[in-house]
Structure 1
């Protein structure tokens, strides 16, 4: 192995973490033909930058004054961080909270190993643990505390202190390479999906990309890496089998994180479907957590979560590509129909778990059928929202009805999960709730516009009532407020949504009032015993001078909000899917001619 030259510059000092693992530049764990960005001196810089530095779509000018979070300053402070272990009883509760919730969706660590580390920590002391074991236990404390603290979020949480102690060992862990380094990246990703740090989306994108390349370097994408079919009859084989299955679950955990970030950010996946040749692991009694005190064994929901993430990836790839392929519209419609059938099949498989029989004491959304209904509704939104490959069909009545129903269902379930304290207060939830709310307002606006202006345009099966709009938009706003406050996010998201929801409510009231007046007027003016159809039809023709009608309030407000949406996008408060829907809405409004109103006809009232 060749020795890397030392840096010649005396004016700038590479961080200690980067220096410690520069030796990995030519010997990253895994297959040599997959050497990538994680195999050089940039590896530590990438990880450190992903964790410490906020990201923006617009680069900022270089600065020379270091903030308290800069790598140079924090690297000097972290070794002096006092280690204040939580009481043993509390520590066990935190670990159990992790196994009861976070472990269900990312089971890359084995419960036996976690409990072994915990027992060593409180039985033999800190000195008995390696840097990797210290990092793992501190990150597990941080992840669990970040989740628990959000339900009593006004109290000062200690998740940041656990995270800071873990980061004091990150250099030694990354120097180990291999599976331990991959686990470190996965734990950092888990923490950032649930913590209250800002700018998580950009950093998650970088971290998941690093993890994906590590998987390729280690050969975890190949079935040949998993040769053992069981734990065998001796301890040595059993240990190798546990290590093998930890690698397998690590790969699928990375893939799930990759699909989530790609879907939310609207960016290409780091791991494509044809990049791997093995399937998601089935339930394995040697790895799953031990039964609870009442003897109940938690169902293995991980494979259903993986199936869902893969399905959403196929939907985005098939319907929301940036570049249209040379396929006919009919072919795309057929693909969408097949994806809808796959989604229905996935939902039926989940129902076979009978999660409604899960003990009510479980606080994890992953064991609630309501959460899987939410995933179903969110997938329906992806399937039926405007697609560049279906520019005309995307706006038909069928698609509009699916968008409205799915958005309404998503909002309802998010509100219910928030009320039952099972919601994940994360930037992922913030994006999903905002997209559901915007889709709801978008569908209502399209419907009201068709009622007022052109009865031949697609519309919903029935008018959303005023009270329905009030309840749905208020529920969405409440969840947005709750998530943004706990996530330390700027409040522009729910403020923009509140403005749009007030406008759509105004349009709903206007339509309902006009409908009542029109019906009353037709009953009074229609001649008794005569069938003068022309006179009756004339009562449905209304001129601008005799009504208070103006362009839809929600369209006007949307135009006012568009600059705010663009600013939120630039600040990474909202992501590509939200902006794509906004662009579709803006394109539908055109250049303002939509607001030049001829006399209009209210057909059907």
Structure 2
């Protein structure tokens, strides 16, 4: 197969002994080998630069920036982390580097006081493990979990779990695994209820109760242990208090899937029950879905390859019908499993996107699947499949939240497919218009959830909002006709909605607020640029003549953007590198006719236009590390060093 992303570089982390975090209750791996520990970096480890230079592959090539590799430093005592193409790193770099910065001193570093960690130990000292609540309260929290979380990630079988919840003598009867699952479900249910009612319900305290049992769980060698690991992963994605690295948790889950053989189709013909068959299949798809989601958000290679798995889907059988359980009146809504299966189908499309659009080694090896000959035909086919998936979202009463989640993920993947990627570095103007529409729809749906008090503020929420806003800004700049054809009030309303959601998410994830402040400045600059553009007579819109780099004229030989001899410049045209030091304006490009200095690379025209970049106050707040650190410092935790 094509290589899906570069080698992943991972830094070791240090643990702050002075702060009390939920994972402090997790002992070192025992004979069962949970492997969920952080390595301690040596004290004499070299301290990397706070703003490492981004490594660009062949910077003179026309598609260089769509291959942008971000090595983002998340902490002064850690090596930079790899953030790849699908994360949107290069779009952020384009928006924030519109003008060349000759003097790196123009980016002042933050003072140590601004980087000092929040004294969370003072807050956490007031909290602690909670005992089991009363049966009615436990039932309410458990139903919240199954209505909101388990429908997206069907980790547990509801009737089996509810019997476990109501049992007396929890640990004595069901061991540490059962106790851990009960407390983690209560933790997730409390988190959901807290976000919806805005009441202070400490999901972290129930998590602390669960983690007391974790070191006694057989994580590696049992399906129930894998369920525990998945519950911990999901809670980490919903709580900024968890200082666990989701990237590593994801690969722990993948290792357990392969070890237990969940990737293979073992069914009732092998002597297992229908319940076990379905739970094996569901858990496999939960891990695969999380892997695709995390890899896409971070721009890294997927870990569980499609060709190594039997990609059979679970049967559309709801939990209470799966094992002849009597369904209580008014309990689980009908059709819950239909949504899970539908989201699993979207994960398959996500896989294809990662395989094709984000493969950075285009010379297909002979042992891989056949290469995609016409990348634009493939893109149109993927868009058609996505539209068909969207049109078949299950329609059941009482499940509006899950329907909106499906639509948000649809627009998110559509946006990824249409914006620049290693496979299609120069999308057409029509593609960018569709990309802009998808980004706007994603922002509006997230705003709808927020206004209805249904937004969960998981880690992917700020990521979705930030990348949607940056994509909107990029599309407007590359295709100014979008701004001319869109009412300014409507555009500002979408931007305001996105910033509002980001500000609300900042109450839970500190990085979201930093991103919001940076994006606010970028949006203000964009609005000023649009007003200036609209006040001038309409001129030829150069980006209208852009075309996808894979749609070449039949009179000319096709250009291979991966040719190492390509320098990105030709006669009568300003080169990529040269344009940075000799910027030209849009007006100068069009004054001598449509073909004068017509840039082959849209990134080149973007970077060469100083009118937009001059309005961005490039300074302490508006830098790429700040916005990417805001997105990933909670997801890839850092630990302060007081040595």
TM (norm. structure 2) is 0.65
CA distance in 2, matches of 1:147, 1:468: 32
CA distance in 2, matches of 1:217, 1:170: 20
Aligned counterparts, 1:143-542, within 5 A? 143-153=188-198, 155-174=199-218, 177-197=221-241, 203-223=245-265, 225-228=266-269, 240-285=273-318, 286-287=321-322, 290=327, 293=330, 296-299=333-336, 300-325=338-363, 331-350=374-393, 353-355=394-396, 358-359=397-398, 362=399, 365-366=401-402, 368=403, 370-392=404-426, 394=427, 396-448=428-480, 459-460=481-482, 462-489=484-511, 491-515=513-537
**1:171/1:389 CA distance change after superposition, 3 Å:** same
**In the TM superposition, what whole-angstrom CA distance separates every residue of 1:66-90 from its partner, at most 9, and x where no partner exists?**
x9999xxx9xx9xx96652222211
**1:292/1:378 CA distance change after superposition, 3 Å:** farther
Name the residue aligned to 2:579.
none
Greater shift, 382-391 or 257-266, is seen at 382-391
Instruction: Report if the CA contact (8 A) 1:407-1:436 is conserved.
Output: yes
Instruction: Report if the CA contact (8 A) 1:411-1:436 is conserved.
Output: yes
The structure whose RCO (Cα within 8 Å, separation 6+) is larger is 2
Instruction: Report if the CA contact (8 A) 2:28-2:215 is conserved.
Output: no
CA distance in 1, matches of 2:621, 2:380: 33
Q: CA shift at 1:377, angstroms?
A: 1.4
**1:339/1:560 CA distance change after superposition, 3 Å:** farther
**1:278/1:469 CA distance change after superposition, 3 Å:** closer
Name the residue aligned to 1:35.
none
**1:138/1:228 CA distance change after superposition, 3 Å:** farther
**1:432/1:150 CA distance change after superposition, 3 Å:** same
**1:60/1:553 CA distance change after superposition, 3 Å:** same
Name the residue aligned to 2:101.
none
Aligned counterparts, 1:563-602, within 5 A? 564-570=623-629, 573=632
Name the residue aligned to 2:143.
96
**The structure with more helix, counted as a fraction of residues:** 1
**1:552/1:144 CA distance change after superposition, 3 Å:** farther
**1:257/1:69 CA distance change after superposition, 3 Å:** farther
CA distance in 2, matches of 1:383, 1:171: 42
Aligned Cα root-mean-square deviation (Å): 3.8
CA distance in 2, matches of 1:279, 1:125: 35
**1:386/1:204 CA distance change after superposition, 3 Å:** same
**In the TM superposition, what whole-angstrom CA distance separates every residue of 1:491-522 from its partner, at most 9, and x where no partner exists?**
21111111111111112222333359xxxxxx
CA distance in 2, matches of 1:429, 1:281: 27
SS in 2 for 1:474: helix
**1:328/1:304 CA distance change after superposition, 3 Å:** closer
Instruction: Report if the CA contact (8 A) 2:73-2:625 is conserved.
Output: no
Name the residue aligned to 1:595.
none
Q: CA shift at 1:399, angstroms?
A: 1.6
SS in 2 for 1:174: coil
**1:303/1:490 CA distance change after superposition, 3 Å:** closer
CA distance in 2, matches of 1:433, 1:554: 22
Instruction: Report if the CA contact (8 A) 1:95-1:144 is conserved.
Output: yes
**1:473/1:255 CA distance change after superposition, 3 Å:** same
Instruction: Report if the CA contact (8 A) 1:404-1:439 is conserved.
Output: yes
Instruction: Report if the CA contact (8 A) 2:372-2:378 is conserved.
Output: no
CA distance in 2, matches of 1:463, 1:193: 38
Name the residue aligned to 1:135.
180
Q: CA shift at 1:567, angstroms?
A: 3.4
SS in 2 for 1:177: coil
CA distance in 1, matches of 2:357, 2:267: 34
Instruction: Report if the CA contact (8 A) 1:258-1:270 is conserved.
Output: yes
CA distance in 2, matches of 1:283, 1:129: 29
2:36 alignment partner, one of 34, 39, 47: 47
**In the TM superposition, what whole-angstrom CA distance separates every residue of 1:339-368 from its partner, at most 9, and x where no partner exists?**
112112212322xx224xx13xx5x621x3
- Which structure is larger by alpha-carbon Rg, 1 or 2? 1
Consecutive unaligned residues of structure 1, counting only runs of 5 or more, are 1-14, 25-42, 230-236, 449-458, 517-539, 543-549, 577-605
Aligned residue pair count: 465
CA distance in 2, matches of 1:186, 1:92: 21
Matched, 1:107 2:151: no
Name the residue aligned to 2:30.
21
Aligned counterparts, 1:67-86, within 5 A? 83-86=130-133
Name the residue aligned to 1:531.
none
Q: CA shift at 1:272, angstroms?
A: 1.1
CA distance in 2, matches of 1:187, 1:82: 17
Matched, 1:557 2:579: no
